[in-house]
Structure 1
Amino acid sequence: MANEQKEKVSFWKNMLRTLLFWVVLAIILGALLGQILPTWAIVPFATFNDIFGKFLSFVVPLIITGLVTPAIFELGKSGGKWLLVTVVIAYSSTMVAGFGTWGIASLLYPSLLSGQQVPDLATPENAVASLMDPSFTIDPVFGVMTALVLAFVLGLGMTAARAEKLMNIFREFRELIMIVITKAIVPLLPLHVFGIFLNMSKSGQFVDVIVVMAKVIVFAFILTVVMLLLQYTLAGILAKRNPLSALWGMSDAYFTALGTASSAATIPVTLRCARNNGVQPAIADFVIPLCATIHLAGSTIKITAFALALQYMMGITPDPAKMTAFIFMLGIIMVAAPGVPGGAITAAQGVLQGILAFTDPMYGIMVAMYVAVDSFGTATNVTGDGAIAIIVNTLAKGSLGTGSSAEKYVQESESYAKGIDG
């Protein structure tokens, strides 16, 4: 009996530490209190959202510069043949996930989300919005697209010039950005979500939004399953083995990731599963740590599906040129996303608002939907890593082998993973 009590206490302690718990609580409280609180009681939360949204707009270009610049440099510095092959395969997988989601959503959303548009989502409570002080601004140092171009120029330039001293400055800047994300932005996201859903509940939009969220979450989950089947079908064809058997061989990694919601924490299990699937230890030890940070097909599916759904809700027709740029840049941003709960959706804010022109309420709903299925996205990411390991193992045909050459590539992948995770 005493052990059962300890387990219950431990369970709730662990739950209180998760971002998912606080976001779900924020949604529930926002929905309930929005029905009973007068407008004056909502003003403090609307004020916080206004300030927090402007702070996010200010810091997002810095996040992009601080994370993407070192990622490009460290990837360019580790220029081994099989590292580049692995990166190309991983990025291609992410692109297939993004563009595939866009194509399927374009076909299904008109019927799936029919009659559930919320055109005034950008200002859900005019009475509260009118109380905000328009003179208060926090102007970004530079724009999102400027930050992306600057990150590429600096990253590629430092790689070509082998500017280690300058790179050390950017590594320290990345540490600073990680502190801002983990200590300021992520802890305040639930309060931001609470304020947004409080406004939506007050204006009577909550039910419409929740219905759409539920449908899109199920849609995104189904797409992650389809993506895994595609990845393992390709791996099975190349390796001449049963793809379903290979996929089942990664089941321990999948279910471990469901519990941890962390690719990094699942690496030991993913390694064991990849080796049991017939991948050479040297290749598994090289591919799995690297893909834990650069291969985020599951995360890309979720973000793309949710972004398209919100545009549909707002009555916005996705612009093909903007969506193409969004998916390409999202794949790069996912490589540099910090390995913390909520890190990917925080890093993605730059392309959501910079390319797709998302408002703060739209981004808040993105956070809520993303966190609700964070574990499934992570599980898809790590399980897909196993398919990439099989493909690289087949292509390498023992050329990595063991010894100093293999150790060099393993060290490169681990160094790169540590660099991206901060």
Structure 2
Amino acid sequence: MTESPKHNQSLTYWIAGAIVAAIAVALTAPNIAVHFEIGGELFLRALKMIVVPLVFTSVLCGVLGLGDVRQLGRPGATAVGYYLCTTVLAVVIGLIVVNVIRPGVGTVDPAVLEKFAESAELPNGQTEAPGMGVVLENLALMLITDNLFAAAADTQLLPIIVFTIAIGALMTTMMDRVRSIATLVTEANDLLLRFVMALMKLAPIGIFCLVAARFGKAQADGRFFEEISQIGWYFAAVVIGLAIHGFVILPTIYYLVTKKNPYHYMAAMSQALLTAFSTASSSATLPVTLECAESAGVSKRSTEFVIPLGATINMDGTALYEAAAAIFIAQAIG
């Protein structure tokens, strides 16, 4: 079911070329580029359309593949522990980089500062930040939903994953009676992955439309270079932090664990990386990540359980960005 390495490499080149071409069109003909928005939106919706059913079937297949619910503890705990560690590392890197570069020190455009400050305001008229107890309580409530269909409609993947793991765990204890359901779920998962592979053939066109429209809109409004120049040092701090985390820290962890070249694996995952860059959504990229990981030689048993969970709770880039943003605002207001 997986594509050949030669086909994957060719598609990666097409996607990379589409991104470069889209940026060029957006900067030279922004009024034309904005009209590609419909194509990009259709591509993005097609990816998001299958996220919920794919998460359900892939996680369920992953749990069933373990064979025994008692074996779920170790890989599950290992995955969550790894996600927590990399997120903490991302926050630390963000704090170090932003304190070294100090992008907020000096003159900052009041409009830009106000935009960042608004995102830091406390909701519902709160005068002080909530305590750790409230934070932990809210995190616990995020695990369980009172309406599974509403969670699916809002693409709230965490409660869906928790529900699926629970159902899968129960199924492993009664496999003889639910074998037909397990077969149905496995075949549905294969069907959805085939849909992803078919959709990826249109990826260069969809990504071109998506990037061209977004960059074109910023250029048409005269904000593209202006906004970059206004917060250029902050932008640089975040990009440097992400580069350190993505090209140094994570590859080092990969090498220490597997003793393999991490950049070969990164090249195999290039389709997912480029799709994530262009869509800015780990959930939308999830179908592509599953397909790429399997093509890269990762066992299906691992990908079906670990990747959907990681797309939901492993937000290293967001953690780094928000840590840097908090210090940037503090520096800007003295």
Question: What's the TM-score once normalised by structure 1's chain length?
Answer: 0.44
Aligned length: 241
Q: Residue 161 of structure 1: SS of its match in structure 2?
A: coil
- State yes or no: 1:196 paired with 2:214: yes
Following TM superposition, where does structure 1 have runs of at least 4 consecutive aligned residues deviating by more than 6 angstroms? 13-16
2:93 to 104, 108, 127: 104
Residue deviations 1:323-377 (CA, integer Å, cap 9, x gap) = xxxxxxxxxxxxxxxxxxxxxxxxxxxxxxxxxxxxxxxxxxxxxxxxxxxxxxx
Aligned-partner residue type, residue 244 of structure 2 = F
- State yes or no: 1:31 paired with 2:23: yes
Show the counterpart of 2:84.
95
Show the counterpart of 2:147.
none
Q: Do the aligned partners of 2:58 and 2:189 also contact (CA within 8 Å) in 1?
A: yes
Q: Do the aligned partners of 2:95 and 2:323 also contact (CA within 8 Å) in 1?
A: no
Inter-CA distance 110–89: structure 2 relative to 1 (3 Å threshold): same
**Residue pairs, 1:364-379, within 5 angstroms:** none
Show the counterpart of 2:141.
none
Aligned-partner residue type, residue 108 of structure 1 = V
CA distance in 1: counterparts of 2:43 and 2:7, whole angstroms: 27
Inter-CA distance 16–74: structure 2 relative to 1 (3 Å threshold): closer
Give the deviation of 1:77 after TM superposition.
3.1
CA distance in 1: counterparts of 2:92 and 2:38, whole angstroms: 38
Q: Residue 17 of structure 1: SS of its match in structure 2?
A: helix
Q: Residue 61 of structure 1: SS of its match in structure 2?
A: helix
Give the deviation of 1:166 after TM superposition.
0.8
**Residue pairs, 1:19-418, within 5 angstroms:** 19=12, 21-39=13-31, 41-77=32-68, 79=70, 85=74, 88-89=77-78, 91-109=80-98, 112=101, 114=103, 142-145=153-156, 147-162=160-175, 163-184=178-199, 187-188=202-203, 190-191=207-208, 192-204=210-222, 206=224, 208=228, 211=236, 214-220=239-245, 221-224=247-250, 227=253, 250=259, 253-254=261-262, 256-257=264-265, 260-261=268-269, 293=303, 304-308=315-319, 311=322
CA distance in 1: counterparts of 2:79 and 2:190, whole angstroms: 26
Q: Residue 240 of structure 2: SS of its match in structure 1?
A: helix
Give the deviation of 1:170 after TM superposition.
0.9
CA distance in 1: counterparts of 2:199 and 2:189, whole angstroms: 15
Q: Do the aligned partners of 2:29 and 2:216 also contact (CA within 8 Å) in 1?
A: no
Give the deviation of 1:111 after TM superposition.
5.4
For CA contacts below 8 A with separation 6 or more, give which structure has more relative contact order: 2
Residue deviations 1:282-340 (CA, integer Å, cap 9, x gap) = xxxxxx858974778xx98xx73432455579x689xxxxxxxxxxxxxxxxxxxxxxx
Q: Residue 315 of structure 2: SS of its match in structure 1?
A: helix
Root mean square deviation, CA, Å? 4.4
Give the deviation of 1:84 after TM superposition.
5.7
Give the deviation of 1:45 after TM superposition.
1.1
Query: How many percent identity over aligned positions?
Result: 12
Question: What's the TM-score once normalised by structure 2's chain length?
Answer: 0.54
Aligned-partner residue type, residue 71 of structure 1 = G
Inter-CA distance 177–213: structure 2 relative to 1 (3 Å threshold): farther
Aligned-partner residue type, residue 196 of structure 1 = R
Unaligned runs of 5+ in 1: 1-12, 121-138, 233-246, 268-287, 318-422
Q: Residue 223 of structure 1: SS of its match in structure 2?
A: helix
Q: Which sits farther off after the overlay, 24-33 or 106-115?
A: 106-115
CA distance in 2: counterparts of 1:107 and 1:255, whole angstroms: 25
Residue deviations 1:53-101 (CA, integer Å, cap 9, x gap) = 4444433222221222211222253755xx8646644553343223322
Inter-CA distance 185–149: structure 2 relative to 1 (3 Å threshold): farther
